[in-house]
Amino acid sequence: MVVLDGKATSAQIRAELAEKVKVLKAEGKKVPHLAAILVGEDGASRTYVNAKVRDCEEVGYGSTLIKLPEETSESELLKAIHKLNNDEDVDGYIVQLPLPNHIDETKVLLAIDPKKDVDGFHPENVGKMTLNLPTYIPATPQGIVEILRRYNVPTEGKDCVVIGRSQIVGSPMSILLSQHNYPGNCTVTLCHSRTKNLRQVCKKADIIVAALGQPGFVTADMVKEGACIIDVGITRVDDSSKKSGFRLLGDVDYNAVATKCSYITPVPGGVGPMTRAALMLNTMKVIELS
């Protein structure tokens, strides 16, 4: 059994990107600059955004963090987005989700210049992904594809079950793994809340991508011997023994499942750090595609 080590792999990716930045600098070229807009005081969002800024510092990208108060109006946020669209120094940016309820998320995503949309959430980029054209792929699916590639996990002709049809993970994951690529060429079944006999469906899978957000949902009896398990779950559970006051739980019953499978991503240290690394890769891509 091989642990797909997202922590080590993402560190490797950051090291590679830091090298690229050095080369860009040496050639007198522009270094990538990532901006992030954070609206409100959500604790998890703040943690994520701060981590992204730290990643930028580590690889040598420029970074700008724009913090807006919870009560920011939709039009004020759209103004900030418009400014970033026109800021030539900013190569790519993200608007950290979720947004406060009084702001229309779709409207905001549509306002982002697709060329700077390193989260890959704008319809034009989602469409290019669906059509297998060069684009920015949302960070989590991109991170998963990247770790499968770097560990040479075989995917062609494999039966893959994706659990969860969210627009940022499950749905794009099912699209990417179906395509005529490596990683890809899987026979993908996309499962969700309306799926019947989910346990039996999983049991036949060579690859399971669990992205439903239910801690420990995938148990050993649902997993075929030798399957590859990708755990996207990252639920915070109160834990007073931890300094942070919580611990992170995946969607997979790791200890029991790990003994049966060929590959598995741990939580934490699996898909999470790969998601962060994917954002750094996408930001470099802005420079490379332009």
Tokens of 55: 């990643």
* Cis preceding linkage at 69, omega within 30: no
Tokens of 236: 């915070």
Question: Which residue in 55, 91, 117, 119 is the catalytic one?
Answer: 119
By CB under 8 A, name the one of 78, 201, 248, 256 that touches a second copy. Answer: 201
d(CA 107, CA 78): 9
Q: Is 130 in the site for a second copy (CB under 8 A)?
A: yes
Helix, strand or coil, per DSSP, at residue 235: strand
By CB under 8 A, name the one of 43, 69, 123, 245 that touches a second copy. Answer: 123
Residues 132-171 that bind a second copy (CB under 8 A): 132-133, 156-157, 159, 165, 167, 171
Question: Which residue in 96, 206, 253, 285 is the catalytic one?
Answer: 96
Question: b vs e for 18-44, b when ≥16 Cβ sit within 10 Å of the residue's Cβ?
Answer: eebbeebeeeeeebbbbbbbbbbebee
Closer by beta carbon to a second copy, 62 or else 114:
114
Contact indicator for 250, 231 with CB cutoff of 8 Å: yes
Closer by beta carbon to a second copy, 28 or else 157:
157
CB of 130 to a second copy, least distance (A): 5
Please tell me what DSSP assigns to residue 207: E
Q: Is 227 in the site for a second copy (CB under 8 A)?
A: no
52 is an active site residue: yes
Q: Is 178 in the site for a second copy (CB under 8 A)?
A: yes
CB of 44 to a second copy, least distance (A): 23
| Residue in the structure block whose two tokens are 């990532």 | 34
CB of 119 to a second copy, least distance (A): 13
Q: Is 203 in the site for a second copy (CB under 8 A)?
A: no
96 is an active site residue: yes
State the amino acid at position 166 in one-letter form.
Answer: S
d(CA 136, CA 122): 10
Nearest to 252 by CA among 273, 262, 267: 267
Strand 159-163 with 62-68, pairing? unpaired
CB of 221 to a second copy, least distance (A): 20
Contact indicator for 173, 212 with CB cutoff of 8 Å: no
Residues 14-43 that bind a second copy (CB under 8 A): none
Q: Is 224 in the site for a second copy (CB under 8 A)?
A: no
By CB under 8 A, name the one of 7, 46, 128, 236 that touches a second copy. Answer: 128
Closer by beta carbon to a second copy, 98 or else 123:
123
Distances (CA, A) of 256 to 159, 223, 239, 259: 22, 10, 22, 6
Q: Is 243 in the site for a second copy (CB under 8 A)?
A: no
Q: Is 179 in the site for a second copy (CB under 8 A)?
A: yes
d(CA 49, CA 204): 38
CB of 163 to a second copy, least distance (A): 11
Which residue numbers are catalytic? 52, 96, 119
Binding site for a second copy (CB under 8 A): 106, 122-133, 156-157, 159, 165, 167, 171-172, 174-175, 178-180, 185-192, 194-196, 201
